Structure 1
Amino acid sequence: MSKIKLLIHEVFKQGEEDSGKETKSGIALFLSVHLEETLYFTITDKTLVRYYDAYVTEIKDKINIEPFKLDKLSQYLGYKDFVDFSRTFTKEDEKANKTMIKIKVDEDEESISEQISKLVINITNEQHFKVPEYIKQNGLGIMEIALLLCLVTGNVVFSNNKTVGLSFISPVKPGIEKKYMYWDGERYMGTDSSYIRPGLDIVAMNEHKFQYFKKITRKDTLTEFNALGKTWYSKYNNEVEFFTEDGIDPDNGRELRKSTPFIIYKYAGEHKDSIEVQE
């Protein structure tokens, strides 16, 4: 796997975890807004989708990505730049390409805390790491081991299987703690910016709508039993969309109405034609 393909894959994977979105377009929209807010890096969601199609799914021809953009995408993952990502990133499933060294601290040696009795260093073979001769001859104290872990691995694995990551990037605030939110087509996403770009309506954070107001993307799962009295709908140009809460359809500004048995039967669930074919 090429480093650029790996980078784009990991950016979308992290974007899925950070946003809670599952669709490619939804993740790309989140990344577009988040990158501009946190790294002051402007890139459209359509461009990110093109990168994904070209490098990950490979359904389109490869396109050139400027080095500074690769650097910014690498910084989103916590790396200094693309060179740093290329040299140090290791996929979790690449266990066969690792060498594990266990260093046990002598019981009479002074330690930082009672929990640090055994340290495990994971070193990827790809990085060609070699233990210096003076370490082999003289060994290391606990402080030197901790420093080595910081420089080489970026994380410490304790004997109780707890991993402590080392990061120099401040944690991202949960979406609900942000000042504003915007509709991404399926749900509201949190943001700290009152303006992002034309066509994106930024509104004040409403905790209830942020958590509970969502468009139901799988209309085929709705039935009168599970949707009546629990869903609302918007009809525009003979298209019906269902939502989990009452309010206004963010896409067209129309007031939502409670779903009726007729609306659910006609516009949700399995279509009548498909049922007849199955029978």
Structure 2
Amino acid sequence: MKTFNDQSSHGSIAPARPKSLPSLKAGVGLKPEHYRAILDQHPAVGFFEIHAENYMGDGGPPHRYLTAIREMYPISIHGVGLSIGSSGPLSEAHLLRLKVLIERYEPAMFSEHLAWSTHPSGYLNDLLPIPYTKEALRRVVEHIDTAQAFLGRRLLLENPSTYVQFAESSYSEPDFINEIVRRTGCGLLLDVNNIYVSANNHGFDPYAYVDQINHLAVGEIHLAGHTRELDTDGSPLLIDTHDRYVDDAVWSLYAHAIRSIGGVSTMIEWDANIPDLPVLLAESDLANAVSLAATG
């Protein structure tokens, strides 16, 4: 597969804000539990985001509902299975399924995680961290170039939530991500909850992280809930569970991000213990209010 651009890992791409979803109306994740209510009620939400892997079949009710909802709202496609950080090559079969899905629904954005989930003997149903080394950087850049070339569009890369750090890392996470952007021209999906979770788990300043990231590259923001637990030595441990309301501390960090970056398309993630649709819509309304206050 050819690379996305001739400069790829040997030059730099001038930063530019990715084409945006609505920035004045936040979006929510599209869940089967809400299909009928969305079509009946036409809620005032900015967009819906789907997980790519849930729609890789050829047909059936999910595609019938998504087709109808796509006629009413913009959508964003978020991948969780491409394994951008894996040591081996990207799966051409998975890339082909993504391409078919993207061409079918023409999403405003497509995003993937800075993580890995595949190895030679199989697939792990998790998003695992990578060391921030020169070798890992080269591999991630190569994979993003491959994906962008094959899909024919810019990818947004999401910062991870992490629970361990690698002793051999030679970059900070913001520097590592910024260098990926510089080499590939990809955009960023800034997950504010992931920043807060990782900052708590590793003891860094989440506000400094937001300040260090390439603001021009941010095309979408994610917000979600997390769970507070204790690790084996009794220290606080946050888990990115996507199963509850956005924490007050994350709302504060989001306001800082909006003041720093400007108005950016924002999406509420809620992937477990799915609430009724009005609960999700209230969270998206709160995101709108926080964003408006931060930029007003």
TM-score class, shorter-chain normalisation, is under 0.3
Q: Which of the pair has more CA radius of gyration?
A: 1
What TM-score results when the alignment is normalised by the length of structure 2?
0.22
Using CA pairs below 8 Å that are at least 6 residues apart, which structure has the higher relative contact order?
2
What TM-score results when the alignment is normalised by the length of structure 1?
0.23
